[in-house]
Structure 1
Amino acid sequence: MCVHSINDDIPSHEILAQKTAWYMLQRIRSCFGIENYNELEGVVEADEAFYGGLNKNRHKRKKIPQSQGRACVDKTPVLGLVQREGKLTAVVTKDTSVKSLQPIIKKYIKPQTVLITDDWKGYRNMPEYNHCVIKNYAKQKIYDNTIHTNNIEGAWKIMKNILRDMYNSVSRKYLQIYVDEFVFRYNTREMKCGVRFNYLLLNSNIRTKYKDLIYV
């Protein structure tokens, strides 16, 4: 029995090299940033997501000490800001310290906005916002059902599912490009496929050089 490859009927000169295909895909992904980095106002929820394998799922020899909680030894944090009835902005950060989180918040969220976060120390001391802090859910009864971060937490769940199911692995170096792709999907989720595709094409006037991608 003769077994044929899926590419048997394609002329060899029309088959792209892996390097070329990767470059084309990354150039396309670079265009998705048109829907990220939005200026937000009204009521905004903020939270971080961490991309990377769970330490408890690793083999004993591959476990990394001091990597629990918000530690960024083996995981990459992404700060998400979502406006109620509005858009999502998500930025990869070095860590979850005040110096990393607050400049991003102040850059993309207008003053006097209602900002809802948990009680992580990276969000403390921001008098320019109407800051609502959610403390430990298990110990505090929250009577105001509008004070929550359900929207951003829901967005993170979708993003992690996409990164896990669609891609085998995403390196820290290129994570922001994939986050931009997710933000584009999230912010245009109510558009029909044809309208979304045309919107991307009309705003894809971005020049990306190969050296810009490999030296991110």
Structure 2
Amino acid sequence: MDIFKRQNIVECAVRFQSDLDCKKYLSEVKWASGYNCRKSGHQGSQIRKDFSRTCNKCSDTESPGAGTLFHKVKFGLLKAFHTCFEMTTTTKGMLVLQVGRRYGIRPDTTRVFMHIVREAMKSSGNYPLDGEVHVDEFVVGGKESERPGRSYGGKKKKVVCAIQLTKEGKVKRFYGLQIKDFSAKSLRPIFERHIAKDAKVTTDEWKGYRPIAKDFYITQIPSEFGLNFKALHTAIHQVKSWIRTTFSWVSKPHFDRYLSEYSFRLNRSQIKPGIFHNLIGRMVNSDKIYINNLV
């Protein structure tokens, strides 16, 4: 197939001018490894004008969007594809009202679809951070009376994040998870999901990392007001700035999805030409997502 690798919105508009263009691309992604009937398992099929496939054995017809996260999208594949394109290529993120006005979609419908896209952006966990890794925690949220800094209660969101460094000491990859508190129990999941066992992990001297050091190679050093973790603190500052300047408010139930969106773009900053195609593949192969779990 002709993989779309452009970053220009005009070129995207030229490539995808109708729902039929999107169905063609979706069908090529969905059946890239060949067609298997969902009912009979037969591999022979006929291709319809709308790029659906009809099984030669049981005559079951399957559309390109069936079984994918594009299934029965209310506003058509064309608008869905362009929304995905902008969510992958923008550096600042997209507001629900901004997308809704641009494509003529109701805000509630737009919000649900964008959360579905963010779910597809979540890491598979198959490529954990290795080499030199730095880990730290931070909070996101405005000032609260009598709750300065890293407080445990209130409306502040608590996050633990990890970065993989390049040989030059720059950020190569980033992952973040919302946590309940700063205990070892809450900090452990990011190690188990996103950090390789043989990675050389460096943290500050927070006591919550001590129990985890039994299972991971962790070195604890003084933070020195962030001077020993410059790249990590720069990444944290960028995440906070992105959230504060793009979104007026992010609720706790959805916060991990925004972290996934940020990580998805950052971790593919070196392979930007393939980021849109990567997302379409994820939308095709992701498990079914129920709206009740999103709203």
Tell me whether the two structures share a fold, i.e. TM-score over 0.5.
yes
Greater relative CO (CA pairs within 8 A, separation 6+): 1
1:197 alignment partner in structure 2: 276
Post-superposition offset of 1:127: 3.1
Q: Is the 8 A contact 2:200 2:218 kept in 1?
A: yes
Alignment root-mean-square deviation, CA: 2.3
1:45 to 122, 129, 134: 134
Taking structure 2 as the reference length, what is the TM-score of the superposition? 0.56
Change (3 A) 1:70 1:124: farther
Structure of greater Rg: 2
For 2:163 and 2:238, the matched residues in 1 are separated by 14
Give the drift of 1:112.
3.9
What's 1:128 paired with? Answer: 215
1:119 pairs with 2:205? yes
Distance of aligned partners of 1:179 and 1:112 in 2 relative to their CA distance in 1, 3 Å threshold: same
Counterpart mapping for 1:118-197 below 5 A = 118-125=204-211, 126-137=213-224, 148-192=228-272, 194-197=273-276
Q: CA, structure 1 residues 22+107, in 2 after alignment: closer, same or farther (shift >3 Å)?
A: closer
Cα displacement string for residues 133-160 of structure 1 (whole angstroms, at most 9, x for unaligned residues): 221516xxx9xxxxx3222222111111
The number of residues matched between the two structures is: 183
1:99 counterpart residue number: 185
CA distance in 2, matches of 1:212, 1:131: 36
CA gap 1:103/1:203 in 2 versus in 1, 3 angstroms: closer
Deviation at 1:107, TM superposition (A): 4.1
5+ long unaligned stretches in structure 1: 1-13, 56-62, 143-147
Mapped partners of 1:121, 1:184: distance in 2: 30
SS in 2 for 1:28: helix
CA-to-aligned-CA distance 1:5-47 (integer Å, 9 cap, x gap) = xxxxxxxxx9433221211221122221147784222211001
Instruction: Please give the alpha-carbon distance, in whole angstroms, between the structure 1 residues aligned to 2:199 and 2:114.
Output: 37
SS of the equivalent of 1:92 reads strand
| Aligned partner letter, 1:203 | R
- Taking the aligned partners of 1:37 and 1:175, their CA distance within structure 2 comes to 22
Find 2:111's aligned residue among 22, 41, 44.
22
Query: Using the alignment, how far apart are the partners of 1:187 and 1:49 within structure 2?
Result: 20
Q: SS at the partner of 1:27?
A: helix
Distance 1:37 1:180 in 2: 15
Secondary structure at the counterpart of residue 89 of structure 1: strand
